[in-house]
Amino acid sequence: MISKEMKQLKLTGFVIFLFFLTECLSLPTKPQDVGDFNITQKFIEDNVGYITIIAFAQYVQEASFEEVEMFAKTMTEYRDQCLANSKLPQCSKLANDALLEAICAMEGVPQKRNFSHCCNKDGFERRLCFFYNKKADVGFLPPLPTLDPEVKCQAYKNNSESFLSKYIYEVSRRHPFVFTPTLLTVMGRIEEMTKTCCEEQDKANCFRIKAVPVIQYLKAFSSFQKNVCGAFLRFGPTVVNSIYIAILSQKFPKTEFEELTSILEDVSSKYDGCCEGDAVQCIRGRSKLMSHICSKQDSISSKIKECCEKKIPERGECIIQRKDDKPQDLSLKEEKFTENKNVCEERNADQDTFMAKFLYEYSRRHQELSTPELLRIARVYDDLLRECCNTENPPDCYSTLENKFNETTEKSLKIVQRECEHFQNLGKDDLKYHYFIKFTKIAPQLSTDELTFLGEEMVTALLTCCTLSEEFACVDNLVDLVIGEICGVNGNRTINPAVDHCCKTNFAFRRHCFEALEADKTYVPPSASQGLFMFRTDLCQAHDEELQRKKDRFLVNLVKLKPELTDEELRSSLTEFTNLVDKCCKAEGPEACFNEEGPKLAAKNQAS
């Protein structure tokens, strides 16, 4: 049994993570940096309770709100002690290690919430264990609670801090890989929405309208962050640097390469903490990165001034969404990478810097291309240049590489055009069913919830992009995020050999790899229908949205049961299911109708 004093000592350790960090972050010396450091410090101190809730809820998703709230209150108490006397021995712990030690010290919680195996490890192994314990598929959690608007407003009025704590707890445990600054921004927007809507006469309608952009914001940043962290954990920092060279060069094309590389140093340190779930290091990393960008506005972009005047964390979210115009004197082609006779010598002298310069120059000249396409072109250039530099006449070889870039883009463009043809030719529901069937055949091992989510995300991507002038970049960027959802964040995630190969072999070309996938040949469907054709009368009480969800799940589960059926046969069965529900819900005895018609539909599908 751990004594009360020992438990308190372990809990106290987290406070240094929140406030001092002298061993894991170098203290600033320049006046501007000191000011930014102090502003960040104050923000962390003011939000210690919420930050703790986010960290705990993301690591231990099963934890109750009472457990999380108790932990947050303890952290707030010890914050005050360590601020009063930072030399206390318990205030010298480091970063995430201290947080996890504190969580492990909670009496009975590790056993109750099934993470005691992680607490038996130390240091890096413990951090890795907690990270791999996070679950992207949150089907094990109850549905997100919904409150009557009047009840919601009264709860906020009675205790706004408790109301926001409960909200950020529910959101954080359902989004275990979203960065802390993003979740704090979401919380701020929820508070703004609540304040506004609680003053309205029609509160319900106000909440319904204002919730949409908040949800879209969370989904967009969640997908992007999971995608980049998946790349970071599966392929290492080099791929993340390449992603950000492409993004930043496109967004801020007048930035010099030397300035860009100094920004990338801050990006790398940020992702190291954010992807691991190190809440405060993530806040500090983001703040340091944005302070760097804001201190160099003249050389980076004239369009971020308004963003740089905002507070943490809104400043960072604002900068991320800005985009500058391409300099008028920037030529469409940078000839030094294909016309220069010394290309091989320059490449061999420093391959990483050479390739970074190529990606930088190509990206800033091609704002019309997607990030994945820029990475593909860089990969093609690297592979072919390696071959060219081993020939008798390298310049003759690499002088034609521009044609190879165009071929690569043309192949990617055709994939997007096919997808947008699906969008043009199919209605919204048929488009969704097309992707339900496609994803379920490719990856039937995924849960039904995951597969319906992926199909819906594909439809959203095409609905968003296929009517835009920048159709190609928009579709390719968003579909890449859907693929990121399939591959997941954890490097050890496995689905089936073909999908795993696409996820792990080549980050730039995984979209092309997925496009070539067919139905998984290793999948063994369940021998029984597992109640798929047993229908209950609650189908008749379901609202339109709920009934549609049940139809979606029926189709995905039917594909899992009978993957050999053609798309036409599967859609025909879905139509028969829809007709059956309509017929039985209009019958005098719905239950008797379902009992009679359900087995008929089952027999028909078994015979197919």
Residues placed in the known binding site for Zn(2+):
278
Q: From the annotation, which residues make up the binding site?
A: 278
Residue 474 · residue 468 · CB < 8 Å: yes
Q: Residue 14 is encoded by which pair of tokens? A: 């987290």
Instruction: For 125-143, give one letter per residue: b (16+ CB within 10 A) or e.
Output: ebbebbbebbebeeeeeee
d(Cα 188, Cα 180) in Å, to the nearest integer?
Answer: 12
Number of neighbours of residue 528 by Cβ within 10 angstroms = 8
Burial class of residue 423 in the structure, from the number of CB atoms within 10 Å of its CB (0-12 exposed, 13-18 middle, 19+ buried): buried
Place of tokens 């997941």: 488
Number of neighbours of residue 184 by Cβ within 10 angstroms = 21
Q: From the annotation, which residues make up the binding site for Ca(2+)?
A: 278
Nearest to 482 by CA among 466, 461, 500: 461
CA distances from 554 to 133, 344, 443, 448, 470 (A): 30, 57, 16, 9, 36
d(Cα 507, Cα 70) in Å, to the nearest integer?
Answer: 42
User: DSSP letters of 88-151?
Assistant: SGGG---HHHHHHHHHHTSTTHHHHTT-HHHHTS-HHHHHHHHHHT--S--TTSPPPP---HHH
Q: Residue 225 is encoded by which pair of tokens? A: 């962050």
Helix (H, G, I), strand (E, B) or coil at 327: coil
Nearest to 559 by CA among 422, 418, 446, 428: 446
Nearest to 358 by CA among 376, 370, 289, 400: 376
Amino acid at 320: I
Q: Residue 352: how many CA atoms within 13 Å on its side-chain side?
A: 6
Contacts of 126 by beta carbon, 8 Å cutoff, 6+ apart: 97, 100, 118, 119
d(Cα 21, Cα 494) in Å, to the nearest integer?
Answer: 36
- CA-CA-CA-CA dihedral for 18, 22, 24, 30, to nearest 10: 110
d(Cα 474, Cα 468) in Å, to the nearest integer?
Answer: 8
Nearest to 555 by CA among 579, 573, 531: 573
d(Cα 93, Cα 12) in Å, to the nearest integer?
Answer: 8
Nearest to 261 by CA among 377, 367, 373, 359: 359
